[in-house]
Structure 1
Amino acid sequence: MPDRHIARILPLQGFELPEVADLIYAAALGEGASWRDLGDRLMSLMDAQRATLWLANEFGKTGNLLMRRDSYDDEYASRYVVLDPYRQAAGKIGLEEAQRLRGDVRLGHEIVADSSYVRSEFYTDFGRKSSRRYLIGGLIGTSEVIPLGLHRDAASRPFADDDKRTLALLIPHLKRALQMRAQLTPTASALGAGALDVLPLGVIVVSQEMKLLYCNAEAAALLEEPRFGLFATRHGRGPGTGTNESGLRARHPEDDAQLRRLVGAASRGAAGGGMRIRARPGALPSEPVTLWTLICPALRHLSSPGQPNMGTGVIRGAATVLVRRLLAPSAPSSALLTDLFRLTRSEAEVAAILAGGVSAEDVARARNVSLDTVRSQIRAILKKTGASSLRDFERIVALGSTMQAASASRPPFGNQVASHPEER
């Protein structure tokens, strides 16, 4: 292994990894960087000529987000996608096996024998000229299994085990960033800094020692409600308003220990993780849980909501905790849907009903209009929201219950976390 490659890998673990992680979150949330910026950085880091991550963009159109579309993409989509040996191998993997392999990183020859690949029609007619001689890839596990791939041309050396270790460090951050993207957008990007207080999704920023640095309105409401499994140990303050002495705790001892572990890991630069929070100590496994939490590195623009255009940088020594109620689904406000997607009043009213799973026929009967009218409105709603189907529209609106305006009874943006008796 060349010495120059050793010099490139070691700085990644000490210094370059946090910078790449910052860029991953920035690209995923559209804050200060693009997916192409990330693609350029990944290709430079991995000495690769091509990078692929096929996802829907902000307009709902699926494509490779890491590179500008070129003639090779068109050629691949029109003919060579069905001849791709790697894709054929992936197609033989069942859903259960694909789920198990999430986060796994493989070299090309570990997927398809190198001798078979170089003799394939795909490589001789297409891969050779499009810099697809060597491959390294991994599966990112979110609500679906998403492949990430990097390619080198024939003039380059093959990817090796040290490259696998490098990519394995980054894939967990990609997974967490995509989860945050699903939870926080399009709401946060559509409404700006004030979006955090209209989210029924709780946003909490804590230090490595579990001290509260910031809570949005939904999080403050959750922490003061005794029936939920999280609470604040003392009276706390928002960022920039004085010393913060509040602490975040889980009522169930096992949940509290796991929460502390995940926050500690995320605050030290790891990707964090997700967990369910039980409602009370002694709850049986068969009893329903009330909260789902996603713990990830603290992002600067979430912890500084009063300062717009901060960009997305990861704050060292802190973590973000996203909290969602599992047993309290809420219908979206038609006014908020109008603000988010520029729907007409009539379209927003129909969209609010559809988000609850009601059929087009039921909407037509309830509104005393023709089914054709409702179907026309549905087409307009799907186009404006970028959804491919009603099911996709429900996912956009309902995932994380992020689309409902906060109730007027909740404290104003950035206000103090309501005091709560300290529990041991």
Structure 2
Amino acid sequence: MQRIELTEVVDLIYAAALDEGASWQDLGDKLMTLMAAQRATLWMNDEEDVPGNLLMRTDSYDDEYASRYVVLDPYRSAARGVSLEETVRRRGDVRLGHEIIPDVSYVNSEFYADFGSRSSRRYMIGGLISMSKVIPLGLHRDAASKPFSEDDRRKLSLLLPHLQRALQMRDRLAPVAPGLGAGALDVLPIGVIVVDREMRVLHTNAAAAALLLDSQSGLSTAHHRLARGTSKPTLFARHPDDHAQLCRLVIAASRGSAGGGMQIRARPGALPDGSATLSALVGPALRHLTSSSQPNMGTSVFHGAATVLVRHLLGPSTPPVKLLLDLFGLSRSEAEVAIALAGGVTAEHVAHTRCVSLDTVRSQIRSVLRKTSASGLRDLERIIALCSTMHVAAAGPLFPVEMPPKAVTRRRTV
């Protein structure tokens, strides 16, 4: 029975993240039922870029928390001290409240005395999700309940990696959400490949098909003869070590794991240094990506299969200036500054390279943050990254491909 409940929650995680047949509140309700909790908290920007607790319908406690008590929350204060790098190392690490803040300190805190005691926040269990910033997930019980147990830790530790992977997939597939379907995937500039646990290809979008046809790419397919004389293309990485790692991730995701990420090297000899040219994110397969006959059945995990999202590492990584002008109404100078900042340079460097004053650049940064509704430079980087996925580059293939000579057409002169 417990296995069925966990499977239902995993399905809801991916459905909520991709807005396919379930809401964040549906996921929160299921999590609270599974964990016997009275509150669930995941504070993020929603689809309209408005910050809030996605896992519960807004009530007076959430309003109070956002307006006053968020700065007093000792658990959130502890989360702010954890770096993104540490969060990645602690992937799937779930902690009980007293392991984060000593129980005596929490009970005697101003936060609990004034707010937590009346908002069902006596006991807590949670973990951290690493996106463009560290995002804490928390489940809470009131004083009349029992503390969270090691069994609760085990359940949440199985679900936390799925939530992380679903949010990553949401960011990469965002340009065609909501209503994401197999046909809509063809507009994406990233490759989407659905395979079974034996690496047999079940579906590819247009970008993946082009990538697999590139003879220099680190990924390709081979046809293996099956029973009754049929054949099925099988996905493989050209570098043996990459192929072994890819197979491990696919098998794990097809068996219920959240999968993982990796880099894939080019075909041996294609580049002098043998560097990686592709980034792959492997996660569970979503049912609506594998079934074109039932487009409205909603999202759930298709067990026994995995989704491989692939993008070029050496291709264009920033959107064109004109796209930012059209989307946000930026001036050309503001758009160029936004792209430069997303590339990791400082305001001082931008001012130096553009031969303008630092005050001018800072004024442009304030204007960019206002027009894009970004909460800060980290959020701006996320917005620029999403805009990059909306742009299909016209620069041609990553590697030169030999083409047959074209017939020469002579222009007639009069």
Report the TM-score when normalising by structure 1.
0.78
- The counterpart of 1:299, out of the listed 249, 272, 286, is 286
Structure 1 position 264 matched with structure 2 position 254: no
Structure 1 equivalent of residue 201 of structure 2: 212
For 2:81 and 2:367, the matched residues in 1 are separated by 40
Per-residue deviation at 1:78? Answer: 2.8
- Residue 180 of structure 1 is matched in structure 2 by 169
Aligned to 1:251: 238
Q: Please state if 1:328 is matched with 2:315.
A: yes
Structure 2: distance between partners of 1:209 and 1:313:
21
What is the rounded CA distance, in whole Å, between the counterparts of 1:191 and 1:351 in structure 2? Answer: 32
Answering whether residue 212 of structure 2 is matched by residue 223 of structure 1, we say yes
Match of 1:38 among 1, 4, 27: 27
CA contact (8 A) 2:175 2:389 kept: no
**Deviations 1:165-218, CA, capped at 9 Å, x for gaps:** 000010010011011011110334388654311211000000111111111010
CA distance, structure 1, for counterparts of residue 198 and residue 205 of structure 2: 20
CA distance 1:191–1:125, change in 2 (3 Å): closer
Q: Give, in angstroms, the shift of residue 285 of structure 1.
A: 11
- Within the candidate set 37, 45, 52, 1:63 is matched to 52
Task: Say whether the 8 Å CA contact 2:21–2:298 is kept in structure 1.
Answer: yes
Within a 5 Å distance, the mapping from 1:13-28 to structure 2 comes to 14-28=3-17
Deviates more, 1:247-256 or 1:96-105: 96-105
Query: What is the CA deviation profile of residues 209-229 of structure 1, one whole-angstrom value per residue up to 9, with x for unaligned ones?
Result: 111111101001110112211
- Show structure 1 runs of 5+ residues with no match: 1-10, 237-242, 365-370, 411-424
In structure 1, how many angstroms separate the alpha carbons of the residues matched to 2:315 and 2:134? 28
TM-score (ref. length: structure 2): 0.79
Contact kept in structure 2, 1:28 and 1:178, CA below 8 Å: yes
In 1, Cα distance between the equivalents of 2:332 and 2:288? Answer: 32
In the other structure, the counterpart of 2:64 is: 75
Determine the C-alpha separation between the residues in 2 that align with 1:311 and 1:382. Answer: 31
Contact kept in structure 1, 2:79 and 2:136, CA below 8 Å: no
User: How many pairs were matched up?
Assistant: 382
User: What is the CA–CA distance in structure 1 between the aligned matches of 2:79 and 2:118, rounded to whole Å?
Assistant: 23
Residue 382, structure 1, aligned to residue 372, structure 2: yes
RMSD of aligned residue pairs (Cα, Å)? 3.8
Give the deviation of 1:355 after TM superposition: 7.1
TM-superposed deviation, 1:58 = 0.7
Deviation at 1:101, TM superposition (A): 2.9
Q: Take 2:133 and 2:275, find their aligned partners in 1: how far apart are those partners?
A: 24
What does the per-residue CA deviation read over 1:318-354, in whole Å, with 9 as the maximum and x for residues that have no partner? 110000100011665799889xxx849x779999867
Q: Deviations over 1:355-405 (max 9, x none)?
A: 7549999xx9xxxxxx9xx9999578525xxx4467645533434942124
How far the C-alpha of 1:93 sits from its partner, in A, is 4.4
Output the amino acid matched with 2:78.
Answer: A
Which residue in 1 is equivalent to 2:401? none
Paired amino acid for 1:139: L
- Which position in structure 2 is the counterpart of 1:137? 126
- Partners of 2:390 and 2:50 in 1: how far apart? 21
Is the 1:102–1:145 contact (alpha carbons within 8 Å) kept by the matching residues of 2?
no
Q: Structure 1, residues 80-112: CA drift from partner, whole Å, max 9, x if none? A: 223223233334445654443332111111112
Cα contact 1:218–1:406 (8 A) shared by 2: no
Contact 1:139/1:148 (<8 A) preserved: yes
SS in 2 for 1:269: coil
Shift in CA distance, 86/330, structure 1 to aligned 2, threshold 3 Å = closer
**Looking at both structures, which has the greater relative contact order when contacts are Cα pairs under 8 Å and sequence separation is at least 6?**
1
**In 1, Cα distance between equivalents of 2:189 and 2:368:** 25
Is this contact kept in 2: 1:51–1:151, CA < 8 A? Answer: yes
Q: Where does 1:120-159 land on structure 2 (aligned, <5 Å)?
A: 120-159=109-148
1:166 maps to 2:161 = no
